[in-house]
């Protein structure tokens, strides 16, 4: 039996290039900076954290499948796979924990092909356009959901 709440944070393709890739859209923080923010917030909230990134759809699917029965919540920035991956959508349907979808930018304010999400229908909340801070908001949202058992409204 695990102690405390275990949260999995998964990051999709190209997020390993944060800080270099289009900083005017994604900000100057690196993925390591975001990991440090998440670790600090998780410790404050009493969570243990598993923070991962992959450029490979199949690896993300495997990690989601392996999370079944092992985690209490999932934060997912599927990046470009948000808009294309039925495989990730189907894997998410296998886990029975709150899922928070996170995006550094707001996809709905960008190209039309980014307006659709295969993750959103399965998410308890979607955090967009908050930059790196969006991950902390997602952890706080998960804390609220896990303590009350229900989704909470997203603050503007």
Q: What is the pLDDT of residue 153?
A: 47
Distance CA 53, CA 131 (A): 17
Q: What is the pLDDT of residue 126?
A: 95
Is pLDDT at 39 greater than 90 in this prediction?
A: yes
Distance CA 75, CA 87 (A): 17
Active site residues: 26, 103
pLDDT digits (tens, 9 = 90+) for 75-112: 999 999 999 999 999 999 999 999 999 998 787 766 77
pLDDT digits (tens, 9 = 90+) for 118-150: 899 999 999 999 999 999 999 999 999 999 876
Domains, in order of start, for the chain: 5-148 (3.40.50.9100)
CA angle, corner 117, sides to 86 and 56, nearest 5? 50
Q: What is the pLDDT of residue 154?
A: 45
Distant-in-sequence, close-in-space partners of 111: CB < 8 Å, separation ≥ 6: none
pLDDT digits (tens, 9 = 90+) for 41-69: 999 999 999 999 999 999 999 999 999 99
Q: What is the pLDDT of residue 82?
A: 95
pLDDT digits (tens, 9 = 90+) for 14-37: 999 877 666 666 667 899 999 999
């Amino acid at each position: 039996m695990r102690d405390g709440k275990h949260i999995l944070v998964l990051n999709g393709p190209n997020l390993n290039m944060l800080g270099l890739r289009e900083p005017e859209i994604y900000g100057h923080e690196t993925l390591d900076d975001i990991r440090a923010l998440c670790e600090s917030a998780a410790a404050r909230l009493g969570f243990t954290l598993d923070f991962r990134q992959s450029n490979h759809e199949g690896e993300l699917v495997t990690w989601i499948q392996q999370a079944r029965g092992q985690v209490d919540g999932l934060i997912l920035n599927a990046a470009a796979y948000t808009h294309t991956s039925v495989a990730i959508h189907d894997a998410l349907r296998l886990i029975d924990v709150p899922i928070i979808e996170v995006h550094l930018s707001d996809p709905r304010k960008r190209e039309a092909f980014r307006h659709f999400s295969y993750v959103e229908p399965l998410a308890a909340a979607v955090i967009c356009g908050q930059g790196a801070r969006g991950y902390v908001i997602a952890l706080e949202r998960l804390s609220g959901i896990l303590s009350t058992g229900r989704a909470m409204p997203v603050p503007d």
